[in-house]
Amino acid sequence: MKVSLISIPVRDQEKAAKFYTEKLGFVINKDTPLGGGNRWLTLVSPEWQDGPEVLLEPAPNHFEPSKVYQDALFEAGIPYTQFDVDSVDAEFDRLSKLGVEFSVKPTVMDTVKFAIFNDTCGNHIQIVEDL
């Protein structure tokens, strides 16, 4: 068994696609219209294009429990998911220069360094570096 896709709830797929590609550096893998203005919109890491896909899921627009869950996580400051990076400090600097807002600056905890940012689409995302 292996993970091939993770889903991140977003309220505006176009805004999310722009943020995740232009700021974070992901590349669009699939972009298929589903009707009603929704898309099967997946991204992959440019360094691992045959790795897991990130689905920008419009569920909060169509399923109220998804919106409630997303809002509760965001208000509590809990990251929806995390991405591994080689250097949290380097990504923090790069993303900060691009205007990405961090709620938690680079922090060491035991054997990891992490930071948390706002993806502008209703989620906190954590970046993590193994030390």
The pTM for the full model equals 0.95
> Which structural domain, as residue segments, surrounds residue 60?
5-130
Quote the number of domains for the chain: 1
Who contacts 106 (Cβ-Cβ below 8 Å, separation ≥6)?
A: 88, 89, 92, 113, 114, 115
For residues 36 and 112, give the distance between their C-alpha atoms in angstroms, rounded to a whole number.
Answer: 42
Backbone angles phi, psi at 63, to 5 degrees: -140, 100
What's the pLDDT tens digit per position in 2-47?
A: 999 999 999 999 999 999 999 999 999 999 999 889 999 999 999 9
Angle at 118 between CA 82 and CA 104, to 5 degrees: 75
Q: What CATH number is given to the structural domain containing 47?
A: 3.10.180.10
User: Which has the closest alpha carbon to 131: 82, 96, 84, 91?
Assistant: 84
